[in-house]
Amino acid sequence: MLKKSCFMKRRAMMLAVLALAGCAGLRGFNSNLPAAEIGYLPADAFGDAIQGEDPAIAATNAATYAFAHPGAMQGQPAEMALAVASLEAMAGQFVTGGRWSDMDNTAKLQMLDARAKVRVVLGVAPTANCQDVIDGLVGAAQAIKRGDAAGAKLAVAGPAFTKGPEATLNLLAHFPPVPAANVATVNASRYLYPAGGNGFGMDM
């Protein structure tokens, strides 16, 4: 009984410490990201595919679907490039934009964490300017859709992409699952569709 009592006390103390740490993290949440960490998708990023749609919701949809269904993205480098660009953009916008002030801080932090993890997979420099990353990925997607292989390589040839153009494009065509991005985008999308989500699940 004494051992059990000691164990329960230690467990209670650990839970209390974790709870305090979590609260401290949220209290320290800073919505004032540096300008280099905030970016926006070009108006023509999706072409005519989202005509009449809210661009922010369209971008969130693209990222949510891609990271929830990685199998469907295999062999689809243009769509994956747009999904990663969407995550890049919306992670910063959710944190700083007044439009998203009602979004739970945890969901915003998950999006920033997901962006960092996806950058590691793709080989994006951690200090890369967000807009440079977005512009490179959107440029690559548009070039791929035009059948312009040289243009696609040129779009991701900048210093933001550390693996080099060929490796970057190959990764976009065979992007591995990123569970953190799946969870983050699904959770964020719930604040866009509070009546029950947008239909994109988490089938890893």
* Better-predicted residue by pLDDT, 50 or 2: 50
Which residues share a beta bridge with 124? 161
Q: What is the pLDDT of residue 201?
A: 37
Q: Residue holding tokens 């070039």?
A: 143
Q: What is the pLDDT of residues 58-109, one digit of tens each?
A: 999 999 999 999 999 999 999 999 999 999 999 999 999 888 988 999 999 9
Question: What's the mean pLDDT in 27-46?
Answer: 80
Residue 36, φ and ψ in degrees, nearest 5: -65, -15
- According to DSSP, residue 38 is labeled -
Q: Residue holding tokens 């801080």?
A: 105
Q: Please provide the average confidence, as pLDDT, over all residues in the chain.
A: 83
The enclosing H or E element of 84 equals helix 77-96
C-alpha to C-alpha distances, 17 to 21, 23, 29, 80, nearest whole angstrom: 6, 10, 19, 40
Give the domain ranges of the chain.
Answer: 1-29, 38-189
